[in-house]
């Protein structure tokens, strides 16, 4: 992976964390998740419009925020980004808030 791509992935991680932090003390409800998705869509739409990325997908719903996760005062956001149409490089991360910590894992 190129250093340019690594730098871009680090930028994604930091910007998504900044958005996630805004919701840390909110209840994990459908409305809260929709607000997070709205902010994330704005972020990645800008990357797409300036041709930094080709496509993206954000999942933050009942499929990855199960009752167990919600009951543990946690939240999960899954983000997948295809940088360009030709390459198979994908940014694929799971952001999890648990015990006052944001954990980033590759999915």
Report field, pTM of the whole predicted structure over 0.85: yes
Percent of the chain clearing pLDDT 90 (strictly above): 79
pLDDT surpassing 80 at residue 12: yes
Average pLDDT over residues 20-25: 90
> Given pLDDT bands bounded at 50, 70 and 90, which one contains residue 2?
confident
Total Cβ atoms within 10 A of residue 52: 15
> Given pLDDT bands bounded at 50, 70 and 90, which one contains residue 89?
low
């Amino acid at each position: 992976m190129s250093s340019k791509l690594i730098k871009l992935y680090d930028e994604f991680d930091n910007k998504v964390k900044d958005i996630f932090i805004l919701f840390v003390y909110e209840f994990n409800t459908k409305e809260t998740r929709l607000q997070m998705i709205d902010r994330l869509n704005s972020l990645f739409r800008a990357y797409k419009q300036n041709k930094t990325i080709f496509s993206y997908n954000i999942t933050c719903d009942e499929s990855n925020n199960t009752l167990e996760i919600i009951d543990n005062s946690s939240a999960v956001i899954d983000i997948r980004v295809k940088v360009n149409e030709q390459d198979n490089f994908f940014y694929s991360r799971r952001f999890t808030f648990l015990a006052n910590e944001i954990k980033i894992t590759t999915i």
